[in-house]
Structure 1
Amino acid sequence: MPGQVLEYVALSLQVAKHELLLFTGFWFILGASDDFGVDLCWIWLRLTGRARAGRITHAEASVPLAGHAAVVIAAWREAAVIGHTISHALSVWRQDDFTLYLGCYCNDPETIAAAMAAAGGDPRVRLVINESPGPTTKADCLNRIYAALCRDEQRYARRYSSVILHDAEDMVHPAELAVIDAGLARADFVQLPVRPELQRASPWIGGHYADEFAEAHAKVMVVRDALGAAMPAAGVGCGFSREMVARIARLRGAAGRREGGPFAAECLTEDYELGLLVRREGGRSRFLRVRDEKGELVATRAYFPATLDASVRQKSRWIHGIAFQGWDRMGWSRGPTELWMALRDRRGPLTAIVLACAYVLLMIEAVQSLGTVAGIRVQFTGSPLLYGLLRLCLAGFLWRAAFRFAFTTREYGILEGLGAVMRIPVANVIAILAGRRALTSYVRSLQGQAVRWEKTEHAGHPALGLPSMGETARGLMR
């Protein structure tokens, strides 16, 4: 009897394995085909010279701006990093025609004190204190800054030409203002690349961000720009024309939204949504890759989460805001290109399910291997279709790994390129956990739970380095 039970269990596992292989194989090939389409577009752009980064000289990076820029930063409990962000920006940006707006909360005196100390009375820094105790939402804080910006325009009888978004932990590039200013002369929204900095203390969790952004901001966003698709805003290193921000603010006001500004307070990815709204309002968006005289990318540098829990929380917020809230709030575009990009943006939950099934397959394989050692064997009879799917899956994985290696190597060196391939399972596990958490959070929001600013804690700044990896950061800065 026990032997019959074991054989029945083994047979059941074999049937489950067959069905899961068909399910994961189908969706993996579909996803690989999607990525392959982007790859082909990028290869064509590369061959025709349209994917090459532009260049900016030291002199061009220092020219006065066409108008006055407003740089806005929302900060809640950022005393550890906000001072470095402010002092670094004031020291490397050579223009005087910008104002740095920093939104703080009345119940966060540490951040306020750190910001005031870093500003040192510089007239280019403007502190906006939110009278509501924090944290509210990031969008709410940004809308308070926007209201202060509008009051300043009335008070000083001048109108800003652009609004630039940054986070409290960002390290800006000296040429950023010049590049964004030049880009906004021909567009309503400009996004610059984001470059996650390497962390010796977190080569796996922190490192996988470098892999993903290296490929996304050197290939995917370049393709979106070339196709003329709506451009999502990353929330950092992105600039909007003043008129476009005002137009979106009027749009929200006409719709009776309660936030009273251009940012959606009930949305977890208000920056992503703001970027897409530019296209819907008839504006033009651009993604600009530019390198300075030293060959360094004009990009926003920052440390990303270094622990599994923090990474899962951050990515679950992205999935919730982009996939679930994006579907609810933005709907679906009728244009083929926009529909393709929306499907790509919102495939996070499905990707999590498919990856979870793939790892269940690995566990079944492990159990079957133990059964084989114990003398329990069940003959596997897969169909030709299944074997064909598995071959395509293997080819697709090798293709993806090669691209991940190439883009990471290009930006961080060959050792990190090899590490990028080894970090693929880490990225998969984070995607699975984040997808599950995002779904749970979304269901709770449907039940009436209000969204809140579940921000990432920041322990260090790229301009100085984390306490445990200072020498590494200083080496990167040289």
Structure 2
Amino acid sequence: MEWVDVIAAALVALKLLFVFVSLVFLACGLDDLFIDTCYGIWLARRRWSGMAAAQPTERQLQDRPEQPIAIMLPAWDESAVIRPMLLRLLKTLNYGNYHVFVGTYPNDVATHVEVEHVRAVSDRVHRVCTPSDGPTCKADCLNWIYQGIRRHEKETGIRFEIFVMQDCEDVIHRLAYKVFNHLIPANDMVQLPVLSLDRKWNEFTGGHYLDEFAQLHSKDLVVREMLDRSIPAAGVGCAFSRRAFETAAAGNRNELFNIDSLTEDYDFGFRMKTLGMKQVFAKFVVERRVVRRHWLTGRPRETTLRDYVAIREYFPSGFGVAVRQKGRWVVGITLQGWSSLRWRGGLSTKYMLYRDRRALVTNFCNVLGYVVVLGVAALWLLNAMVPESLHYPPVVEPGSWLWDLTLANAALLGWRVAQRAYFVQRLYGWAQAFWSIPRMVWGNFINFAATGRALRLYLRFLRTGKLIAWDKTTHTFPSEDDLPPEAGLPTAAIVDAATFTSHPQHP
């Protein structure tokens, strides 16, 4: 075959790939635009209905009688972070009526020792050891923690009314459990926002989590709640009523969480919807007057800080670790979720399932789009630099339907970039908003690699039948010096005029 024929065949393949990814981008762009429109409707409805003005103040949260809370903390190979996390929780949490139940494994002596150090200084902390060596899966550990909580209730006579899921790297806002206490039992599941701690500009891997969660937990979950009256549990900062746990356990042979899923939290959120439980995504903001230096002059000035009551953490900073973590999410949400949840529910629920599962296609198409761009750019460059060479027909001709499609996709892409930067700016400032733009490209490569890993793991499971083990992420817990004021540290500068925005059923 002549080299001319090879180039011609490559051009045909390039154009077919161009058409495919363009159609996928258009479908996803219009899908995202619909979510943005719904968010705009939510904002307008919230403004004109006076929803924010009718919400409780911080003082009202403080004055509400405290219900007993059981904190569930699964811990496999967490010796590096479990002690500082527990000590900070004990020190800063503005709640008195709680107990922490840490799930450990017989073969994880290091974590066992760290938990025992904390138990020596606080009778609020209890250790529940699983009967099997680890790692099993997070759901299995949580199931044993729940059994340990029930034994503790029988031994002490305490009756826990709220159960909270946390992870060992979580930085918990001091008012978080006050919000749970306010919204339960009127609601059966309450999810707080989960946000990344701030990152340096050059930490692209950790920073791309910052960008994704800023948008997901500022906009997407709000719209999800509005459309479907349900939200997926994030696994951290997520509280459940006693009724929710007892009903879920009774309907599943006393097994609370699904051990066949790597994302038991996501699976459990959908079970709450199936069981008719009331779910709410809670956004509570405390306004503080703080002194900050001007970015240009360096002069101190007083400004208002919007402090979100949220769960914060450091997400992975290494490429390989991020691929493993997000690969686990893809397996649990898209592949195992497809197998167990299928397409049950009404139209709105099916739509949300589609948005979760489209990642199987879009995570590959985003990188294929870069291949198309490079191919087209290479063709243009060849024709420009070697005028006497054969001039091959352009992949995209101006005025054609594909040209118009490309322009539409470019506009939708620009809108998505602006949306991402807007939500990042609201939480982290203009510098992070700027860096969120190149981090979108880096994040696409992480998601591409994670999806490939997820498919490989799931195909191996289908071939062997062996459950996918808890491929745990190595965690980092920040020092107090690394935590910004908005991480919920006690301060005398809190204004007693907080706003609470969500769609709860208030008692």
Using structure 2 for the length normalisation, give the TM-score: 0.86
- Structure 1 residue corresponding to 2:473, chosen from 456, 460, 470: 456
State the aligned residue count. Answer: 462
Q: Are 2:426 and 1:410 aligned?
A: yes
Paired with 2:205 and 2:326, the residues of 1 have a C-alpha distance of 12
The CA deviation at 1:105 is 1.1
Aligned residues of 1:58 and 1:293 also touching (Cα < 8 A): no
The CA deviation at 1:474 is 6.0
Paired with 1:133 and 1:124, the residues of 2 have a C-alpha distance of 25
The CA deviation at 1:353 is 2.5
Aligned residue in 2 for 1:77: 77
1:390-416 Cα offsets, whole Å, 9 max, x none, are 011100100000100100000000010
Aligned residues of 1:87 and 1:119 also touching (Cα < 8 A): no
Range with bigger deviation, 379-388 or 337-346: 379-388
Q: How does 1:146-161 map to 2 (within 5 A)?
A: 146-161=146-161
Aligned residues of 1:211 and 1:408 also touching (Cα < 8 A): yes
Aligned residue in 1 for 2:172: 172
The CA deviation at 1:129 is 1.6
Q: 1:62 to 1:462 in 2, by over 3 A?
A: farther
Aligned residue in 2 for 1:358: 369
The CA deviation at 1:13 is 2.3
Aligned residue in 2 for 1:400: 416
Q: Which runs of 5+ in 1 are unaligned?
A: 254-259, 465-470
Aligned residue in 1 for 2:236: 236
Paired with 2:486 and 2:116, the residues of 1 have a C-alpha distance of 28
Aligned residue in 2 for 1:256: none
Aligned residue in 2 for 1:252: 252
Does the residue aligned with 2:235 lie in a helix, a strand or coil?
Answer: coil
Does the residue aligned with 2:95 lie in a helix, a strand or coil?
Answer: coil
Range with bigger deviation, 53-62 or 190-199: 53-62
Aligned residues of 1:169 and 1:302 also touching (Cα < 8 A): yes
Aligned residue in 2 for 1:32: 29
Q: Are 2:338 and 1:327 aligned?
A: yes
Q: How does 1:283-432 map to 2 (within 5 A)?
A: 283-294=277-288, 295-369=306-380, 371-372=382-383, 373-374=385-386, 375-380=389-394, 382=396, 384-432=400-448
The CA deviation at 1:305 is 0.6
1:234-286 Cα offsets, whole Å, 9 max, x none, are 00000011111111111111xxxxxx521111210001111111010011110
The CA deviation at 1:185 is 3.1
Paired with 1:423 and 1:188, the residues of 2 have a C-alpha distance of 37
Aligned residue in 1 for 2:188: 188
Paired with 2:350 and 2:23, the residues of 1 have a C-alpha distance of 21
Aligned residues of 1:352 and 1:432 also touching (Cα < 8 A): yes
Amino acid at match of 1:196: S
Aligned residues of 2:230 and 2:279 also touching (Cα < 8 A): yes
Q: Are 2:12 and 1:15 aligned?
A: yes
Range with bigger deviation, 382-391 or 163-172: 382-391
Paired with 1:357 and 1:239, the residues of 2 have a C-alpha distance of 40
Aligned residue in 2 for 1:48: 45
Does the residue aligned with 1:167 lie in a helix, a strand or coil?
Answer: coil
Does the residue aligned with 2:433 lie in a helix, a strand or coil?
Answer: helix
1:282-305 Cα offsets, whole Å, 9 max, x none, are 111100110124221000010001
Aligned residue in 2 for 1:467: none
Amino acid at match of 2:151: R
Q: 1:289 to 1:232 in 2, by over 3 A?
A: same
The CA deviation at 1:101 is 0.6
Paired with 2:344 and 2:108, the residues of 1 have a C-alpha distance of 41
Does the residue aligned with 1:118 lie in a helix, a strand or coil?
Answer: helix
Q: 1:472 to 1:162 in 2, by over 3 A?
A: closer
Amino acid at match of 2:35: V
The CA deviation at 1:338 is 0.8
1:53-86 Cα offsets, whole Å, 9 max, x none, are 7876554454465421111000011111111111
The CA deviation at 1:369 is 4.8
Does the residue aligned with 1:291 lie in a helix, a strand or coil?
Answer: strand
Q: 1:454 to 1:42 in 2, by over 3 A?
A: same
Aligned residue in 1 for 2:145: 145
Q: Which runs of 5+ in 2 are unaligned?
A: 289-305, 490-507
Paired with 1:228 and 1:390, the residues of 2 have a C-alpha distance of 32
1:342-398 Cα offsets, whole Å, 9 max, x none, are 100111111123123212213423543564335343121646221111011100100
Does the residue aligned with 1:377 lie in a helix, a strand or coil?
Answer: coil
Aligned residues of 2:46 and 2:52 also touching (Cα < 8 A): no
RMSD of aligned C-alpha atoms?
2.1
1:98-139 Cα offsets, whole Å, 9 max, x none, are 111111111112112222223433121111122311111111
Aligned residue in 2 for 1:278: 272
Q: 1:109 to 1:63 in 2, by over 3 A?
A: farther
Paired with 1:229 and 1:23, the residues of 2 have a C-alpha distance of 34
Amino acid at match of 2:255: G
Aligned residues of 2:94 and 2:178 also touching (Cα < 8 A): no
Q: 1:413 to 1:407 in 2, by over 3 A?
A: same
Aligned residue in 2 for 1:133: 133
Paired with 2:414 and 2:150, the residues of 1 have a C-alpha distance of 52
Paired with 1:371 and 1:109, the residues of 2 have a C-alpha distance of 62
Q: 1:291 to 1:164 in 2, by over 3 A?
A: same
Aligned residues of 2:66 and 2:96 also touching (Cα < 8 A): no
Q: How does 1:431-446 map to 2 (within 5 A)?
A: 431-446=447-462
Identity value in percent: 32
